[in-house]
Structure 1
Amino acid sequence: MALVFAKDVGPVAVRTRMREVGELARDHWRGAWDGDGHVPEGEKPDGCRDYDGKAPLLATALKQLAGHGPHGPVWWRCGRSVWQSLADALDNPDDVHAYNIRSTARRQAREAELERARHEQEERRRRTEAAKWVCPTCERYAYPEAGLTPGGECGPCLGDRRRAAAEAVQDQEDQPPGGGIFGRRRRT
């Protein structure tokens, strides 16, 4: 439905009348909001308006219509805050069709992110496999990690060697001076 205010009463009075008529007819043009029930973490709530059984209510002033024509930005649609062209005023950017487009875009973005993460993980695995070597002590595969020298011993063998060296030092420190049970006397 389109209303054209023919009497030139000034822009403020025309906008006031448009808003008042829009408020009185709200139940006939405003769609029912249907929001997302569950919003995934990190996403904003979304939803759409169901305009079934509703008709858009447009308004303009005859003076604007004469100055810009019916396809210019002369239409005010109830529930909106800007002047629009006829095509924009009749569009429902918050209807179920627009919601489905946004929902599909979100799903595709999530799938692309998962695919990117899978590729990164596969690339890390491939680089790790390419960098492995055979441990010269136990002949098992060794993989690059902090503290290992490529081509050297694996982590378990290196750990065993370090523990054995630490135990040998500890055993030597636990021995009394002089080597015997009572030790040797030192001459001064």
Structure 2
Amino acid sequence: MERERLEEEEAERRREAAAWPCPTCGRAVRPNDDWETRPTGSDCSVCTSIRKREQEDAAARAAEEAEEREEARRNGLFGFLR
């Protein structure tokens, strides 16, 4: 049991030594946080999730605006009379 505890402590020390600050928020990021492998220097999972959500929202807005432009083009100048 003592050996297992020492091995776990050593593994935790190595994890902490491999950590880097998130470039966006400064939160400590470890290579295997959230059960996934992260490239060194990458953002934390929180910042990654926020960025992904912002990209999805921007894509949805762009698609909506494109649909509105297409509808306006189909309706023409006097489309409001239809």
Decide: shared fold, TM above 0.5: yes
Q: Deviations over 1:34-56 (max 9, x none)?
A: xxxxxxxxxxxxxxxxxxxxxxx
Change in 2 beyond 3 A, CA 1:127/1:160: same
More helix by share: 2
Q: Is the 8 A contact 1:135 1:152 kept in 2?
A: yes
User: CA offsets per residue over residues 93-140 of structure 1, 9 Å max, x none?
Assistant: xxxxxxxxxxxxxxxxxxxxx112101210110110010001111112
Aligned-residue RMSD, C-alpha: 2.0
Q: Which has the larger radius of gyration?
A: 1
Q: Name the structure 2 match of 1:131.
A: 18
Matches within 5 A, 1:75-114: 114=1
Task: State the partner residue of 2:73.
Answer: 184
**Aligned pair partner of 2:63 in 165, 168, 173:** 173
Which SS does the other structure have where 1:150 is aligned? coil
Aligned to 2:80: none
Greater strand proportion: 1
1:133 partner letter: W
Q: Distance in 2 between matches of 1:154 and 1:125?
A: 18
1:11-90 alignment, distance < 5 Å: none
- For 2:8, the equivalent position in structure 1 comes to 121
Q: Aligned residues, how many?
A: 71
Q: Report the residue type matching 1:178 in the other structure.
A: R
**Contact kept? 1:148, 1:155, Cα under 8 Å:** no
Structure 1 residues without counterparts, runs of 5 or longer: 1-113
Which of structure 1's runs of 4+ aligned residues deviate more than 6 A?
none
In 2, the alpha carbon distance for the partners of 1:171 and 1:147 equals: 31
Offset from partner CA, 1:45-82 (integer Å, 9 cap, x none): xxxxxxxxxxxxxxxxxxxxxxxxxxxxxxxxxxxxxx
Q: Which has the higher contact order (CA 8 A, sep 6+)?
A: 2
Selected match of 1:153 from 17, 23, 43: 43
1:172 match: secondary structure? helix
Q: Secondary structure at the match of 1:148?
A: coil
Measured after TM superposition, the shift of residue 185 of structure 1 is 2.7
Q: How far did 1:177 drift? A: 4.3
What TM-score, normalized to structure 2? 0.72
